[in-house]
Structure 1
Amino acid sequence: MKGLFDFSEVATYFFRKKDPNRKTNFNLRTMHTINKISILMFLAGIIYFVIKHW
């Protein structure tokens, strides 16, 4: 059960430092940008749902 509620990877996803050894390209940057937007929209939806049904 401990692994189900481990949100450390999600929390650190926004604050990771860039790896200088990793090659970046447009597709990879776009994918990470879309992932960040989707995580923020999901969290905003959860907060809205909790406030609306409180």
Structure 2
Amino acid sequence: MISSRQTPESAQAAMAAAETLGLDTPVGQRPARVGTFLERVIEDMMESADRWRMLLA
């Protein structure tokens, strides 16, 4: 549960850092990729939880 709450915060922090550093710079692109990755992980976790809820219902 803690991880599921911290992951969105981490994604937002990475995206904010990317914007601060400049999305058009290599230094800014790295945290942007991390933020995008974490957002996808969140989506995958939610989709998986929905599938399991349907299977176990």
Name the aligned partner's letter for residue 31 of structure 2: H
Count of aligned residue pairs for this structure pair: 45
Unaligned 5+ runs, structure 2:
none
Structure 2 length-normalised TM: 0.56
CA RMSD of aligned residues (A): 3.0
Structure 1 length-normalised TM: 0.59
Residue of structure 1 in register with 2:27 after alignment: 28
Percent pairwise identity: 4
Offset at 1:28?
1.1
Name the aligned partner's letter for residue 31 of structure 1: R
Larger radius of gyration: 1
Offset at 1:11?
6.3
* Greater helix proportion: 2
Unaligned 5+ runs, structure 1:
19-23
Residue of structure 1 in register with 2:48 after alignment: 49
Large movers: runs of 4+ above 2 Å: 5-9, 14-18
